[in-house]
Amino acid sequence: MFDGAPDRSCSFGMKMGRGRTSRIRRRKLFRSSVSGGVSESYKPEFIELKKWLKDRKFEDTNLIPACFPGTGRGLMSKTSLREGQVIISLPESCLLTTDTVIRSYLGAYIAKWHPPPSPLLALCTFLVSEKHAGDQSLWKPYLEILPKAYTCPVCLEPEVVNLFPKPLKAKAEEQRTRVQEFFSSSRDFFSSLQPLFAEAVESIFSYRALLWAWCTVNTRAVYVKPRQRRCFSAEPDTCALAPYLDLLNHSPRVQVEAAFNEETRCYEIRTASRCRKREEVFICYGPHDNQRLLLDYGFVSVHNPHACVYVSEDILVKYLPSIDKQMNKKISILKDHDFIENLTFGWDGPSWRLLTALKLLCLAAEEFMCWKRILLGEVISDTNEKTSLDMAQKICHYFTEETNAMLEKISHMKGEDVALINQLTLVETLWTEELKILQASAEILSSLQAPFR
C-alpha cells in the first residue's frame, strides 16, 4: 500500500496544498463525496481487533470500520474531522515490521540462512507461519481481518489478464513471473524451517499461501524509514503492516501526510481534507493512474483524475505514412529524447508529450531540420499542427473502437462464465473508464482541429 510496498518509491508523504484555492477545491470535492457506509464495528472480528489494539495502547476515537457502496470495506468518521487533524496515530507496538520477525521464533533461522533472505521474504514467511498457527498466534485478531483473497493481476485467471490493455498485460505477466520466482527461490529457506513445524513445510508454505502473503504486503504495507541489517539482503527494508490503519481506502482527491513520528513513536496520518461525520475517510496511495492501481492494488478508481490511455510505439507507427523516408530517424530521435514512452490520452485530451511526439513524426521533409524546436514546444507550421491533430484524432478513434470491442467481448464472457464475473467486472470498469477518457479526448481534439478546417 501507500507506495512503500515492494518495488515502489514512497509518495505517501505528499505535502498538502495549503493555499486558498486548494482549500476551496477540497471543500467542493468533499461536498460532492458520497457515503452511505454501514458500520461493521459490531462484527466479532472487529471487536477482537479493538481489544487487541487497546492492549497495545491504541484506542481510536475518530474512526469505525464500515462497508461502503462504491469502495467496499473501509473506515468511517465517527465525528467530523478538521483539515490538518491527525486522524490516526498507531503505536509502534502495533506495527508488524522485520523487527517483529527477527524478535520471533523465525529470527534465528533468518540469521543463519545464506544468502540472507530479503525483508519481503521475512514478512511473508511470518504472515504464513502466523496464519498457520491459528488460535496460537499473537497476531490472530489482525490476521482475521485480512482479506482471504486478492484481486491483484497475479491472482486473476489468465483469460482475464488477456483482456487487459497491452501495456498492463505485459506488466501483469511480469508480476506473475516475479511472484513465481519469489516462491521457487524461497523453497530451500522454507525447508530450513521444518524443525519449527509438525506438518511438512511444503504444505504450509505453499504457492497459494505465499501469494496471499505477498499480496497482503504489496497492497497494505506502509512505508517506514529504511533500515539496514546484515541478516537481510540488500533490498530496501521499508515495509510495515499497520493493523487497522490499513483499512483506509484510496481516493485520488484527498491529500494526507503519513509517517512514523520518532517523538511519539507512532505511525501517524494527518489529513488535509475535512470530513463530515459518518463519511468514508480516505487517504491517497499516490497519484496513480488506473492501470497502476489495478496492478499494485487490484482495483480501479472511477473518475480518477490521473487515469489515462497509453499510446505505444507500435500504434504511433501504424498511423504514420509508410512512405516517410525519415521515419526511422524520427523514431530514434523520440527514443533518444525519452519521448517514446508515457504518451497518453487523459481527461484533458492528448498529453503534451503525445502531441509533441506526433508533431515531430508529422514533420514534412523540408521541415525536418526543425525537430529540436518541436521538442521545445514551438509551433513549426499550420500544416504540421493540423496533421498531428488529425493523427491524434485517428489514434483516439482507433482506441475507441478497440475499447468498444473489448467491452462487448467482456459483456459476452460475463454471460458465459458466471464464476469469473467479479474479475470480469474489474477489467470492464477499467475499459469503461478508458472509454470515457477517449470520448473526452475526441471532443477536445475536435475543438483543437476546428481552426484548421
| Residues engaged in binding ligand SAM (CB under 6 A) | 1, 71-74, 147, 219-220, 246-250, 297-299, 301
Which residues, 6+ apart, have CB-to-CB distance to 181 below 8 Å?
none
Comparing CB distances to ligand SAM, the nearer of 41 and 192 is: 41
Residue labelled with grid coordinates 511526439: 357
What b-and-e string marks burial along 139-156, b requiring 16 or more CB atoms within 10 Å of the CB? bbbbbbbbeeebbbbbbb
Least distance to ligand SAM from the beta carbon of 71, Å? 4
Cβ closest to ligand SAM, residue 35 vs residue 233: 35
Q: Under a CB-based contact definition with an 8 Å cutoff, are residues 281 and 74 in contact?
A: yes
Min separation Cβ 375 and ligand SAM, Å: 37
Residue 154 Cα distances to 45, 105, 217, 295, angstroms: 28, 30, 14, 9
d(CA 100, CA 227): 13
**Which residue's CB is nearer to ligand SAM, number 146 or number 361?**
146
d(CA 393, CA 227): 50
Which residue's CB is nearer to ligand SAM, number 206 or number 425?
A: 425
- Measured distance CA(106)–CA(98) in Å, rounded: 11
Sequence-ordered list of residues with C-beta below 8 angstroms from that of 289, at least 6 positions apart, any chain: 304, 306, 307, 308
**CB of residue 173 to ligand SAM, shortest distance in Å:** 20
In the complex, the smallest distance separating the C-beta of residue 317 from ligand SAM, rounded to whole angstroms, is 36
Question: Is the CB of 295 or the CB of 448 nearer to ligand SAM?
Answer: 295
CB of 224 or CB of 354, closer to ligand SAM? 224
For the CB of residue 194, give the shortest distance to ligand SAM in the complex, in Å: 32
Q: How far is the CB of 289 from ligand SAM (least distance, A)?
A: 14
Minimum CB separation of residue 384 from ligand SAM in Å reads: 42
> How much helix, strand and coil, in percent to the nearest 5, is found in the chain?
50, 15, 35
Alpha carbon separation from 357 to 337, 339, 340, 352, 445 (Å, rounded): 10, 6, 7, 9, 16
CB 234 to ligand SAM: min, Å = 27
Smaller CB distance to ligand SAM: residue 72 or 84?
A: 72
Residue whose CB is less far from ligand SAM, 190 or 244: 244
Nearest of 432, 436, 438 to residue 406 by alpha carbon = 432
Q: What are the φ and ψ backbone dihedral angles of 395, each rounded to 5 degrees?
A: -65, -40
Q: Kindly list the strands in the beta sheet with 280-283, ordered across the sheet, starting from the edge strand earlier in the chain.
A: 38-39, 63-68, 72-77, 280-283, 249-250
Pick the closer one to ligand SAM by CB: 215 or 389. 215
**Kind and range of the H or E element at 393?**
helix 382-416
Shortest Cβ 397–ligand SAM spacing (Å): 30
Q: Of 153 and 350, which has the nearer Cβ to ligand SAM?
A: 153
Min dist. Cβ of residue 334 to ligand SAM (A)? 35
Q: State phi, psi for 67 to the nearest 5 degrees.
A: -110, 130
